[in-house]
């Protein structure tokens, strides 16, 4: 029974990463085609928002799932995988907000100097 949970967990993890990679690749190709055609402009987004939200939600979901399976996995604590993803997500989100705040300060400084 425990081996079935292990196999299901591995399949879910591999499937999730496969879907994420395919989504990123197809989205990138689509954006590059639109930029080449001139239909949209290339924007420089603030890094960290999408990955921060993804890792934070993945951490929360992992915490909920592994808490339910706490009796099956007695080798590692139930909170270990979720805490790692949650920490990555929170660090990415804090990086995003710091970069965004600094960009607005620079923008305000340069617009004040232009006057």
Q: What is the pLDDT of residues 41-68, one digit of tens each?
A: 666 666 778 888 888 888 888 887 777 6
Q: Residue 98: what pLDDT?
A: 84
**Model confidence over 89-114: pLDDT tens digits?**
888 888 888 888 777 676 666 555 55
Range of the domain at 71: 45-115
What is the chain's alpha carbon radius of gyration, rounded to the nearest angstrom?
A: 20
For the chain, what is the domain count? 2
Same domain, 10 and 57: no
Rounded-to-integer distance, Cα 97 and Cα 49, Å: 8
Same domain, 51 and 31: no
Same domain, 58 and 114: yes
Place of tokens 């993945």: 58
Same domain, 22 and 8: yes
pLDDT of 79 above 70: no
**Contact (CB, 8 A) for 94 and 47:** no
Same domain, 67 and 114: yes
Q: Average pLDDT over the chain, rounded to whole?
A: 77
Same domain, 30 and 78: no
Q: Look up the pTM and report it.
A: 0.48
Same domain, 69 and 36: no
Distances (CA, A) of 72 to 6, 68, 106: 10, 9, 52
């Amino acid at each position: 029974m425990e081996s079935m949970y292990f196999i299901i967990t591995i399949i879910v993890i591999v499937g999730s990463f496969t879907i994420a990679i395919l989504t990123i690749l197809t989205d990138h190709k689509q954006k590059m085609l639109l930029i080449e055609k001139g239909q949209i402009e290339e924007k420089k987004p603030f890094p960290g928002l999408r990955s921060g939200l993804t890792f934070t939600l993945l951490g929360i979901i992992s915490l909920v799932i592994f808490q339910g399976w706490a009796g099956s996995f007695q080798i590692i604590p139930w909170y270990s995988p979720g805490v790692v993803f949650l920490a990555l997500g929170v660090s990415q989100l804090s990086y995003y907000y710091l970069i965004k705040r600094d960009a607005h300060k620079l923008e305000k400084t340069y617009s004040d100097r232009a006057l």
